[in-house]
Amino acid sequence: MKLLLMDGHSILNRAYYGLPDLTNSAGEHTGAIFGFLNMMFKFIEDEQPDNFAVAFDVHAPTFRHKMYDAYKGTRKPMDPELREQVPRIQEILKAMGVPVITMEGWEADDILGTLSRIGQEKGMDVTIVSGDRDLLQLATDKIKISIPKTKKTGTEIENYFAKDFEQAYGVTPKQYIDVKALMGDSSDNIPGVAGIGEKTAFKWIAQYGSIEECHAHVSEMKKAKVVDNFIEQWDTAVLSKELATINLNAPIELEEGSTKLGNLFTEEAYLLCKRYELKKLLPRFENTDTASVTDNTADSFKRVNDFSEVETFFEDIKKTGKAFIGASIMAGDDKVIRGAALSDGESTVYVECQGFISADYLCHKLMEICKAGVRLCFWDLKNVMHLITNILSDDEKKAVMEKGGKSQIFPNAVDVSVAAYLLNPTKKEYTADDVANEMLGIIIPAAADLFGKKKLKDALLDDSLLEAVTTYACYEAYVAYGAFEKVMAEIEAAGMGHIFTDIEMPLLYTLFDMEIQGIAMDKEALAQFSQKLSTRIEELEKDIYAQAGEEFNINSPKQLGVILFEKMGIEGGKKTKTGYSTAADVLEELAPANPIIGSILEYRQLAKLKSTYADGLQPCVGADGRVHSTFMQTVTATGRISSIEPNLQNIPIRMELGKEIRRVFYPKDGCVFLDADYSQIELRVLAHMSGDDNLIGAFKAGQDIHRSTASLVFNTPFDQVTDLQRRSAKAVNFGIVYGISAFGLAKDIGVGRKEAQEYIDNYLKAYPKMHTFLEGLKSSAKEKGYAVTLYGRRRPVPELNSSNFMNRQFGERVAMNSPIQGTAADIIKIAMVKVHDRLLAEGLKSKLLLQVHDELLVETYIDEQEKVESVIREEMENAAELSVKLEIDMNEGSNWLEAH
DNA sequence: TCTATATAC
DNA sequence: CTAACGTATATAGAA
């Protein structure tokens, strides 16, 4: 029989410092949990114990830490990042059926000592795992102390039976207590005897065996100061021995068999590991009898594939006047709709597309009930609308294109993922299983549980997984129904009801229409441009190889670094984690002295243009000759939207050659592009939110804001500001918005740090309310736990409570930037909805196509141009009422470059 | 899958 | 004292 015992806090502490800081998408720290569990699995595998328990101190102990005053032997309180993981690891251990033993008034050491003694008395082999050498006194010939050490080469384990200890230290484990009694241990508050250190302590105990024996033989000892001390401080030595002794008789009450090691891989534990996103641990749960995760809600799910049954089902919905239904549509990459799940909370059904139940029929039924007033709640509604549009007739599609998806498809639908995003925009994804867990407190299977390694799209192609697909869809519908109301209640409670109802949901429809429209792109022109780039890239390649004296992959920062800084011996290389940095700003400094650098920088620029834009965009052109990007509404932490496949929000504009890419986007026949962008929206938001009179005044006077800033910062008359001063002031303005540091600003504008600090100080003096405003943002975010926009949109900032300086600094910058960037995002979202809705309401055919954070692009029919211009101007400028005017710059053009 | 680099606002 | 400008996405290379 074998008993394995772990020292909970000690191993958790080891894991915390031994591993990089892991967090899950909710911002919860998990690194120590992960390390602990890995360590635990390793020991269980190696030791094959029959019995297993973990002991914790009741209260989080402090730890010695080598980086922190090691020589003083002081201890450091537990980092909050580690502290928060203590209850979590205990929760997981309990879920695994592992006894987590804590006792008020007793240390974990005493628990471990007592359990190991009992184990030995029962004839068991005992292993105690701890990072703490204090436990070595417990070693016997049956009790092994294992101390794992994390080294670069991996984890090494030191094992000590009594004889190993004696070999290493020259005293028995029990005698080690006496050693400590003499030498003391300041970090454990064991006083010891003054003047006796490690050497003397070991020598004496090795010779006499115990402090008592030493005391009895003091007369034989050579006269010395320490001997006098020892005699004088005998009481202290006795007390020290008591303090150093681990108690083997803690009154632990354990039920018979409770430490028996059973199946660790329980359903409950699995779900916790999933919740903490310990993805690398999940495979361990496979092939155990708990692999299938179920709860009994699924029992009531029903699949219907009988046409008349479906008919009745939809009739019932209409008849009973259901107001709200959760729904989910199943379709893979092929966009073929396989079925849909619907839930009213009581019953949840999956309608499978087969026989007379065509996708077309099903979609029209859904549209019908929605138009009849049943509010449908989906996950990723915008995508659902695309799936439905895909099966519509040409006439219906045309109507969607012209009149918009809201009126033509679902006039009255909501998206629960968008709602969940509002509650916490920093998460990676908003899936049904996650929201179910968070909002309803229930555990349901995720895609991976139901489909194994397959993704949903693959599962849809596999008939054997029909059951799983049905269950998945039903859960989505069930949770959409059940969670939406709760999510909304929280949104309302947080004062974000307006954002959801009046901004995000209308925006979803607006984005859908933008995606449906797409934007025309000249594929031929791109191909030609790509050719042109290739020619120049080849020239540069040859030039670079010639200068380097060999051929290598210029695209590989690693190879490039070696060539530049080792082979060519260029001075001034900076290092990254993995090698030399070859980032543009580093190389630029080296360019004047090294001709190869210029070629490399040009090569990089052209290679980027070619791969990402010239070549990358070509396959994005659809059969209609247009590019249909997807605008993501639940991605950014600040409330901005993002754009993918392709990303149309980072099309080049600054560099001369890059502008060519913008030319290939053009309006359809009979149209021009109207492009309008807000002028300095973030600084205007800053002026409004800070209430700073000087900044407000500058905007009100219609001044060039960077010049105005320069005038104040450099104490120069407005019309004598130099270009350099203006450029520097511009950088300061950006810095303020991003959460400035003197270091960053100095690097950006190429001045000393001290000088940069002066600029910042001058800035804060020039705009007196700014400083208090920014400080207020930080303290408010720290107090509330989140940053807030003018409209009440929130972003959690847990970093503000980090014990790590860098993370905390980051949190402060986030606290300053998010309200500004987020408010600007709110404003343009409002403007988008208003422009979009008004174009439709006024019967205009012109369409909003793109948003690039502060810019809107409208494909404008020439005969509507005047009207559209005024719609854009009015709606953008009046999107928000700030203490400074919102101004836009608007241009027309026959391509995107001209219009911008 | 992760890192480094590029693009945009 | 620390490190050092916010938000994104795409690509290529290295592992």
Tell me which amino acid residue A313 is. F
Structural Rg of chain A based on CA atoms? 34
Residue A285 pLDDT = 78
Whether CB of A652 is under 7 Å from strand B: the answer is yes
Residue A287 pLDDT = 59
Residue A290 pLDDT = 47
CA-based nearest residue to A550, from A533, A559, A871 = A559
Positions of strand C less than 7 angstroms from a protein CB? 1-15
Residue A825 vs residues A263, A309, A784: alpha-carbon distances, Å: 50, 47, 21
Residue A295 pLDDT = 60
Interface residues, strand C, Cβ cutoff 7 Å? A 553, 555-556, 558-559, 611-612, 615-616, 632, 635-638, 640, 642-647, 650, 731, 734-735, 738-745, 747-748, 805-806, 809-810, 813-814, 817-818, 821
CA-based nearest residue to A857, from A841, A868, A843 = A868
Q: Estimate in Å the CA A632 to C1' B1 gap, whole number.
A: 23
CB neighbourhood size of A767 (10 A): 23
Q: Estimate in Å the CA A577 to C1' B5 gap, whole number.
A: 15
Whether the predicted pLDDT of A167 surpasses 70: yes
Q: Estimate in Å the CA A770 to C1' C3 gap, whole number.
A: 24
Residue A69 pLDDT = 38
Whether CB of A223 is under 7 Å from strand B: the answer is no
Query: How are beta strands A348-352 and A302-304 bridged, if at all?
Result: parallel
CA-based nearest residue to A185, from A241, A105, A145, A256 = A241
Q: Estimate in Å the CA A244 to C1' B5 gap, whole number.
A: 56
pLDDT tens digits, A378-425? 999 999 999 999 999 999 999 999 999 999 999 999 999 999 999 999
Task: Output the average pLDDT for chain A.
Answer: 92
Which whole number is the average pLDDT over A110-127? 95
Residue A460 pLDDT = 87
Positions of strand B less than 7 angstroms from a protein CB? 3-9
Residue A64 pLDDT = 55
Closest nucleotide over all strands to A640 (CA to C1'): C7
Whether the predicted pLDDT of A289 surpasses 70: no
Residue A402 pLDDT = 98
Tell me which amino acid residue A467 is. E
Q: How confident is the model at residue A154 (pLDDT cuts 50, 70, 90)?
A: low
* Residue A207 near residue A218, CB atoms below 8 Å: no
Whether CB of A573 is under 7 Å from strand B: the answer is no
Q: List, in sequence order, the alpha helices (H) in A461-504.
A: 466-493, 497-498
Identify each DSSP E strand in A556-713 by its residue range. 626-627, 630-632, 642-644, 671-678
Whether the predicted pLDDT of A652 surpasses 70: yes
Whether CB of A577 is under 7 Å from strand B: the answer is yes
Whether CB of A528 is under 7 Å from strand B: the answer is no
Q: What angle do CA A660, A706, A691 make, to 5 degrees?
A: 125
Q: Which of A309-323, A538-552, A661-675, A766-780 has the lowest mean pLDDT?
A: A309-323
As a whole-number percent, the residues of chain A with pLDDT over 90 amount to 75
Whether the predicted pLDDT of A354 surpasses 60: yes
Whether CB of A583 is under 7 Å from strand B: the answer is yes
Whether the predicted pLDDT of A72 surpasses 50: no
Which residue's CA lies closest to nucleotide B7 at its C1' atom?
A650
Q: What letter would DSSP give residue A880?
A: S
Q: How confident is the model at residue A351 (pLDDT cuts 50, 70, 90)?
A: very high
- Phi and psi dihedrals of A304, rounded to 5? -115, 135
Query: How are beta strands A847-851 and A855-861 bridged, if at all?
Result: antiparallel
Q: How confident is the model at residue A75 (pLDDT cuts 50, 70, 90)?
A: low
Which residue's CA lies closest to nucleotide C13 at its C1' atom?
A556
How far is residue A527's CA from residue A522's CA, in Å, rounded to a whole number? 9
Which whole number is the average pLDDT over A743-750? 87
Q: What angle do CA A823, A853, A783 make, to 5 degrees?
A: 30
Coil, helix or strand for A145?
strand
Coil, helix or strand for A158?
strand
How far is residue A797's CA from residue A812's CA, in Å, rounded to a whole number? 8
Residue A614 pLDDT = 97
Residue A573 pLDDT = 75
Closest nucleotide over all strands to A638 (CA to C1'): C7
Q: How confident is the model at residue A592 (pLDDT cuts 50, 70, 90)?
A: confident
Instruction: Tally the residues of chain A.
Output: 900
Q: Estimate in Å the CA A86 to C1' B1 gap, whole number.
A: 29
Q: How confident is the model at residue A74 (pLDDT cuts 50, 70, 90)?
A: low
What is the set of domains in chain A, with CATH numbers? 1-169+252-282 (3.40.50.1010), 171-246 (1.10.150.20), 296-492 (3.30.420.10)
Q: Estimate in Å the CA A609 to C1' C11 gap, whole number.
A: 11
Q: Estimate in Å the CA A619 to C1' B8 gap, whole number.
A: 21
Output the DSSP codes for A380-423. Answer: SHHHHHHHHHHHS-HHHHHHHHHH-HHHHT-TTEEEHHHHHHHH
Please give the structure tokens belonging to residue A296. 């009994």
Contacting residues for A255 by C-beta, under 8 A, at least 6 apart: none
Q: Estimate in Å the CA A102 to C1' B7 gap, whole number.
A: 55
Q: Estimate in Å the CA A453 to C1' B1 gap, whole number.
A: 16
Q: Estimate in Å the CA A731 to C1' C6 gap, whole number.
A: 13
Residue A643 pLDDT = 97
CB neighbourhood size of A611 (10 A): 13
Which whole number is the average pLDDT over A93-122? 95
Residue A250 pLDDT = 94
Q: What angle do CA A171, A176, A181 make, to 5 degrees?
A: 135
Closest nucleotide over all strands to A615 (CA to C1'): C11
Which whole number is the average pLDDT over A183-207? 89
Tell me which amino acid residue A692 is. D
Output the DSSP codes for A174-218. Answer: HHHHHHHHHH-BGGGTB---TT--HHHHHHHHHHHSSHHHHHHTG
Query: How are beta strands A100-101 and A888-893 bridged, if at all?
Result: unpaired
Whether the predicted pLDDT of A830 surpasses 80: yes
| Residue A324: strand pairing partners | A375
Q: Estimate in Å the CA A511 to C1' C1 gap, whole number.
A: 49
Residue A288 pLDDT = 56
Residue A232 pLDDT = 92
Q: Which of A63-67, A264-268, A509-513, A710-714 has the highest mean pLDDT?
A: A509-513
CB neighbourhood size of A655 (10 A): 12
Whether the predicted pLDDT of A71 surpasses 50: no
Output the DSSP codes for A737-757. Answer: HH---HHHHHHHHT--HHHHH
Which residue's CA lies closest to nucleotide C2 at its C1' atom?
A805
Residue A67 pLDDT = 40
